[in-house]
Chains A and B, each alone.
Chain A
């Protein structure tokens, strides 16, 4: 992962590079048709928010992007998702390789039952880094990157479960940064956090987008409006509208989007 050269394909009509391109994606849980003909482009160094009511498929979609969805039994997909020009469903594309490029932060903080240091060092370790000095550097850099270094630098070897929920979530972000991903997927990362912790994570996302492409699923429309550059509105497994965030919230093109953002349902 560290030695891999990231190929950047720049679409001629776009100013920004496309990281993820989704074409005619369909997904079924057994008989249930959960995603219907999804078409979506994710751009480099942007925050893309995915909003929509519960059960609209937004979490399913983000988990498809790093193929975590395959952990659910009886999942079937059709269509194509390309990540940096490569079809992620290609059988020759190792899922571990994809997930090294695309980190994920989950709804509930899920640190490992290990020390703070070991939580962050785990990723680099499994990717072959053994040198203690290099690991120390990665751990510090990642914890700084996740704006939690000052809070934990004196207790790196204490169990991560001693941290507060908000700190745990930032630790999980640090853990994700440690593998030097290209994209960070965030599945409602603040839904289990209090307002102050939420604010910290949001500020962090602002900071991270300079170096990473971020896709965030959120239940909270204000959050999407605050932090994202583009927003996709999902409803019943379809993308109703996908536009620049300002535009989507000020002049939604679709009646259903307008109803949702003005709070008429959801």
Chain B
């Protein structure tokens, strides 16, 4: 069991969706402002700013790299370092680990983590093409028409083959996430969804249909990480980082030799060991999705389904509102929207929000422990973080 060294003390987020009138910098400024206010801090309390890599606009990303947020938000001559962290969809977990490490090493005190992007406002084909180059080999995969839907499809194909998971069970992941999104005012899709509707939607990339696939969205979210010993003096609702585990399993999906498992079993075992608590203590699973197969792979690897197959567990409603293990209560990328790297940031910020008791209509009662996961590129890595309200 490791010493608890860091805690989240503030969060901010803007709604996800298509907001062509809202620029990435505006969304970033508002999310950061809200996180600083939520923590009851002044901008001058922040000593490290960590902007996540943005994909839609090179110019915006360059602004993030070169400290624009410090200038926009009153952190000049108080912030000591502005440094980009980027590991794609895994950045939520990896930047939290890096912030924790800097804090534990005495190199930072209050770290502001921020993601903003506007991939939802890209023309449709530009969005498809952008995500056909993220974690896709230009030489070895792109010439064969590989793309992000194919990644989710190949993994679903392999996972269903190895586990006997059905199309209905795969669709039930989308339905469970939508049930939560109906309670989330920041979600892109809030209308009810049924298994029949998923299975009646157009086949896109076998076995995935249109409603198995995420939709690109604009969005921004921010959080502040502080020293564990400072956290109770900063806020009444600190969320402690208990343990993190991770493993890189590929760059190109075609090189993964265990596509139905990835590295979640190993990452989970590491995170549980560091936290000193196990799957039986988890009351909320904030699981990185993007496509419905990934939460199933993750639930299995983290041993969260009490010995059941993840597909059967989700189809039985165990991860839906009222179920025994609420999962991804913001609606995930499938329903809150795929904001590029931000899909994972939204999942992590929702974990903080729930543990802070600020999740409104979808608040999970009596919550103490949660597990958060993430993965980047074409699910190149498996990240698991254990978070608690107390320790």
| A and B from one complex | no
